[in-house]
Structure 1
Amino acid sequence: MAKPFTLTQLRYFSVVAELENMTAAAERLLVTQSALSTSLAQLEASLSTQLFVRLKTRGLRLTPSGRQFAQDIKVFLEHADSLYESARGMGTSLVGELKVGVFAPLAPFRLPTILQTFEAEHPSVEVSFLEADLAELQNALLEGQCETALMYGLGLGRGFTYQVVERIPPHVLVHAEHPAALRPGREIALKDLDGEPAVVLDLPHSREYYEQLYALAGVVPNVRHRFAGYETVRSFVAKGHGYAMLNQRLHSDVTYSGGKVVALTLTDNFPPIEVMLVRPEGVQPTRRALAFEATCARVYGAAPD
């Protein structure tokens, strides 16, 4: 039985669901607000479901049904695009938009290379990124603000599927004149730094991970400074304000402040951080998302699941 809604209505709904603002959606779609409002009203009537809550001060907000519907139709709209391209003899290409979440401290490392590789293989896909902390990324995935996310697995709740692409052990950073920087093999136990001032990367879930490492080592950290910026932590260490525990290692030992840091391998048996590709459970991924995840896995050297 034919359904009483159109592909145009679904496309309109998808844009409004993304922006949650009728004016902005009409501008992007190049249609009038009245035409857009009528289309959405007809769609809700045909589905016998309220997709949005109309707000006086904030425009629109998706209802739970609307949020689920927005996620479900992504694959449908992609298939419609593929059908169009196939009819034009271009069925093997990927087209459209892809929104990817990324944990902010991870973004500078592999992501530029991942995007460069992906764009070379799929030039018709427009990729945009949401850079955020781990808690924000989980919410963004569940709310459909991004299709997949490159992030740590720290604090990952239920309702997600994931693929591990790298496991990174923690290490310690000290400034270049620190006595430990001259140690043979540049190895150290966290206990050896007990009492020294510490500079902490203070982000949701990351802070709990580092607190766990201190507890495992039986060390009560003398936290002197807390920062949300990865490079800020490195710069303060370089100027002698304390040591830091981090996971990602940079190729350069020079920081933004001009000072140098030295990375020391921890001899403690600490659990590594897992770098993951994460997406919502039960939501069929688009071919664009799958292709991007495959590129990530190759760049990280992991075989895709």
Structure 2
Amino acid sequence: MNEPAFTLVQLRYFEAAARHLSMTAASKELMVSQSAVSTAIAQLEKEMGVQFLLRHHARGLSLTTAGEAFYKRVLDFLAHGAELVEAARQSGTELVGTLTVGCFATLAPFRLPGLLAEFEARHPQVHVSLREGAHQALKSALRSGETELALLYGYDLDDDIDRQVVGTATPYALVSEDHRLAQRKNRKVSLQDLADEPMVLLDLPHSREYLQSILSNAGVEPRVRHRTTGYETVRAFVAHGHGFALLNQCPPAETTYSGARAVPLTLTDDVPSLEIVVASMRGVRLTRRAQEFRELCRTLYER
């Protein structure tokens, strides 16, 4: 049986067209003619004997089922092809190149700065390109190949996404410094203590459902007074007496951007912590850069 005779150029052209779902956009990115992209992909499909892309007049492209599977393999192939070149240039002694990492928005300010500083100190020839965003956007970035890894919470991850637990985040309550519950010496509170209090909700997809479910599971009906997608806005609203909040990440300083203090309180209820995970696409072999980054996440969180 003869081996397929495809070229790296054909694979790169296909990857760009599949990612953009547009021959025009791919040609602009690659700085070649649209006909060159179209011809290369047609030759690739002919050589493989499979149609990967469906052409829709005036509506761009769509991937066939075979095309979707092939696209994931091509991402893996190109990533490791680049790594092979880098390894040859560096005689396999040093990690080099670019690593793209996504991070959930509320985790980023707490976890990324120290993590990135440590990684860059260990691997100065690796450039880490960061993408901060919401949960759904990060899953999409993993599937499209825009990021190789994503640091996020371990909920709502589908079967096509692998995850390695690297830490946990325990929920806590937050009140203003003059709140009656802030006066407790042990700074501990039950969810029932908050039953009649208005709530300031971190209104992010999945986060809001998770935070409200903590109260509901304890028999407390959340009374949401304000909603905001900003983590620090939640803290500032609480500090000025607009209600309490439930959060997972706790900064070392109680002073908010507004200058007022928001006091964290430990929950006495048996509330499960959220897993923090490093996610990647299942079946896609990670580059050495990604493997080292994931391992560093694990070791730093365990300290």
TM (normalized to structure 1)?
0.89
Query: RMSD between aligned alpha carbons?
Result: 2.3
Cα distance, 1:86 vs structure 2: 4.3
CA distance in 1, matches of 2:113, 2:181: 33
Change beyond 3 A, Cα 1:212–1:145: same
Structure 1 gap ranges (5+): none
Structure 1 pair 63/4, CA: closer, same or farther in 2 (3 Å)?
same
Task: Provide the C-alpha distance between the structure 1 equivalents of 2:125 and 2:33, rounded to a whole number of angstroms.
Answer: 28
The 3 A distance-change label for structure 1 pair 213 and 24 is: same
**Aligned-pair distance for 1:199?**
0.6
Q: Which segment drifts farther, 190-199 or 10-19?
A: 10-19
Give 1:163's aligned amino acid: Q
Counterpart amino acid of residue 109 in structure 2 = P
Equivalence for 1:234? 235
Residues 181, 217 of structure 1: CA spacing in aligned structure 2 closer, same or farther, 3 A cutoff?
A: same
* Shift in alpha-carbon separation, 1:3–1:123, aligned structure 2, 3 A: farther
Q: Is the 8 A contact 2:86 2:97 kept in 1?
A: no
Q: Which runs of 5 or more structure 2 residues have no equivalent in the other structure?
A: none
Kindly tell me: are residues 76 and 92 of structure 1, through their superposed partners in 2, closer, same or farther at Cα, counting changes over 3 Å?
A: farther
Kindly provide the amino acid, as one letter, of the partner of residue 236 in structure 1.
F
Per-residue CA distance 1:110-160 (angstroms, 9 max, x = gap): 112222222333344443333232233334333434222111112233332
1:167 pairs with 2:202: no
Partner of 1:178: 179
- Residue deviations 1:266-302, cap 9 Å, x none? 1111111110111222222222321221222233237
Whether the 8 Å CA contact 2:75–2:145 is kept in 1: the answer is no
The alpha-carbon deviation at position 39 of structure 1 amounts to: 1.5
| Structure 2 residue aligned with 1:42 | 43
Alpha-carbon distance in 2 for matches of 1:57, 1:176: 60
| Superposition map of 1:1-305 within 5 A | 1-56=2-57, 59-301=60-302
User: 2: CA distance between counterparts of 1:222 and 1:54?
Assistant: 51
Q: CA deviation at 1:173?
A: 0.6
- CA distance in 2 between partners of 1:55 and 1:257 (Å): 53
Q: Which region of structure 1 is more displaced relative to structure 2, 213-222 or 72-81?
A: 72-81
Alpha-carbon spacing, 1:256–1:18, altered in 2? closer, same or farther (3 Å):
farther
Task: Report how far residue 69 of structure 1 moved.
Answer: 1.8
What is the distance in 1 between the residues matched to 2:97 and 2:198?
Answer: 50
Cα distance per residue 1:177-201 (max 9 Å; x no partner) = 1121121121111111211111111
CA contact (8 A) 2:18 2:63 kept: yes
Over residues 41-62 of structure 1, what are the superposed CA-to-partner deviations in whole Å (9 max), with x where a residue is unaligned? 2112222223233345564343
| 4+ aligned runs moved over 6 Å, structure 1 | none
* Structure 2 SS opposite 1:166: strand
- Quote the offset at 1:244 in angstroms: 0.1
Q: Distance in 1 between matches of 2:122 and 2:76?
A: 20
Counterpart residue identity of residue 7, structure 1: L
CA distance in structure 1 between the partners assigned to 2:123 and 2:58 by the alignment: 40
CA contact (8 A) 2:54 2:62 kept: yes
Amino acid at match of 1:292: F
Residue 104 (structure 1) shift: 1.3
For 2:61 and 2:119, the matched residues in 1 are separated by: 34
Moved more, 277-286 or 179-188: 277-286
Distance 1:86 1:152, change over 3 A: closer
- Structure 1's 256 and 204: CA in aligned 2 closer, same or farther, altered over 3 A? same
Bigger mean CA deviation after superposition, 168-177 or 73-82: 73-82
Equivalent residue of 1:164, what SS?
strand
CA 1:85 to 1:99, structure 2 compared with 1: closer, same or farther past 3 Å? closer
Which deviates more, 102-111 or 126-135? 126-135
Report the Cα distance in structure 2 between the residues aligned to 1:95 and 1:178, rounded to whole angstroms: 52
The alignment covers a number of residue pairs equal to 302
**Aligned 8 A contact 1:72 1:284 in 2:** no
Contact 1:201 1:207 in 2 (8 A): yes
Secondary structure in 2 matching 1:105: coil
| CA displacement at 1:163 relative to structure 2 | 1.1
Alignment partners' CA distance in 2, 1:127 and 1:89: 18
Which has the larger displacement, 175-184 or 205-214?
205-214
